[in-house]
Amino acid sequence: MLGNFSYKNATKLYFGDDSLKYLNDELPKYGKTVQLIYGGGSVKRNGIYDAVVDILKSNGKNIVEDGGVMPNPTADKLREGVQIARENKVDLLLAMGGGSCCDYAKAVSVSVNCDDDPWEKYYIRFEEPDCELIPVACILTMAGTGSEMNAGSVITNHDQKLKIGHVFGEEVMPKFSILNPKFTMSLPKRQMVAGIYDIFNHICEQYFSGEDDNTSDYIAEALMKSVIHSSLIAVENPEDYEARSNIMWTATWALNTLIACGKETDWMVHMLGQAVGAITDATHGMTLAAVSLPYYKMIMPYGLPKFVRFATEVWGVDPNGKTDEQIACDGLAAMEAWMKQIGVTMNITDLGADESMIEAIADATIILDGGYKQLTRDDVVTVLKASL
């Protein structure tokens, strides 16, 4: 049966090609100083930065710059952002970019008034904030993580060779997020594709748990089919507004906690992929793609009915004359063909990993118990070797 749950999402969304104008409606709700968070500078080249700065200035805001957020934001960068926020007594953290900037902003939010080391408190001990938070808002320029409408935050510690996510409480969710699909069109194709697979796998992580016939799974199947359909259009024409709009909107629904309602959820592909990223610093969506098929092939016998349903409902596999195992395998084969068609990375070797790194990646892998089979460390090693 569908499990018991409570659901609330506190983030207000503005979606569409004119959505940036609503920043004017939100800014008066916050104080004078805005910490403007962004990445490597693409927002300056494509004009988004200038448009946002103009709106901030027209609303009388003091702007504190916090650029250079890397694709896998680090504990060192987090401490730098906290120092910026403290020194300038910021009132709003405005993340302008993809999921990394949004994740980073949330980590800064819970850390500015924290007396403890944020890495140890939140990412090692997984404690909740017990201090005043700085509100977060997002202007999204890359679709994929869903960070614009959830309380998740992933931080990497290169010294400890760990990449860890913490899903905070609803008070850490962005107060508002602005989603303009046109802002995603300047992304390199590889980044777009990495985001697409991140979306798809977020749905899979919640879908491949439990065998109940519930509403969450029906929604998940529809979202997966939407991603597949729009991805094939977008890889051929990255400027197709309808396809990019649907990808962006699906990314938000894939991880705004809705389809997790009543589900146990898995997340081992993310644990494996994040461990690969901790060692190689590879692009997040590509690390997920590289480990997915070996992982699903390992757990498929333990959740066979759901893999059969995945094959028939999502991929349209004809079940006639086939065993359940054959149907499930055909579903994974269809998924593999789609992954190759859109151009994701299919192995961790291409991400910079090799045989000598397997033990370190396994050490960095957090083993969860929400899926069909709880992996042993030997299982983790087996999956990683099959991913080379």
Please write down the HEC assignment for all residues of 159-223. Answer: CCCEEEEEECCHHHCCCEEEECHHHHCCCCHHHHHHHHHHHHHHHHHHHCCCCCCCHHHHHHHHH
What the block records as the tokens of 289 is 């793609």
pLDDT in tens, 327-381: 999 999 999 999 999 999 999 999 999 999 999 999 999 999 999 999 999 999 9
Q: What is the mean pLDDT of residues 184-211?
A: 94
pLDDT over 70 at 220, yes or no: yes
Binned at pLDDT 50, 70 and 90, residue 210 comes out as confident
Residue 1: which pLDDT band, with cuts at 50, 70 and 90? low
* pLDDT computed for residue 46 by the predictor: 87
Q: What is the pLDDT of residue 323?
A: 98
The tens digit of pLDDT for each residue in 266-319 reads 999 999 999 999 999 999 999 999 999 999 999 999 999 999 999 999 999 999
How far is residue 52 CA from its own chain's centroid?
24
SS3 361: helix
**The amino acid at 281:** D
Q: What percent of the chain has pLDDT over 70?
A: 100
Contact 324, 308 (CB under 8 A): yes
The residue-averaged pLDDT of 185-202 equals 95
CB–CB of 121/114 below 8 Å? Answer: yes
Judged by average pLDDT, the poorest of 55-69, 203-217, 280-294, 296-310 is 203-217
Burial class (CB within 10 angstroms; exposed 0-12, middle 13-18, buried 19+) of 132: exposed
Domains of the chain: 12-183 (3.40.50.1970), 189-386 (1.20.1090.10)
Q: Is 136 left (phi over 0), alpha (psi -120 to 50) or beta?
A: beta
Residue with tokens 């299982």: 379
Distance CA 306, CA 150 (A): 26
What is the rounded distance in angstroms from the CA atom of residue 338 to the CA atom of residue 293? 12
Q: pLDDT of 237-250, one tens digit each?
A: 999 999 999 999 99
Tokens describing residue 80: 């730098």
Pairing of strands 152-157, 162-167: antiparallel
pLDDT tops 80 at residue 127:
yes
What pLDDT does residue 157 have?
Answer: 96
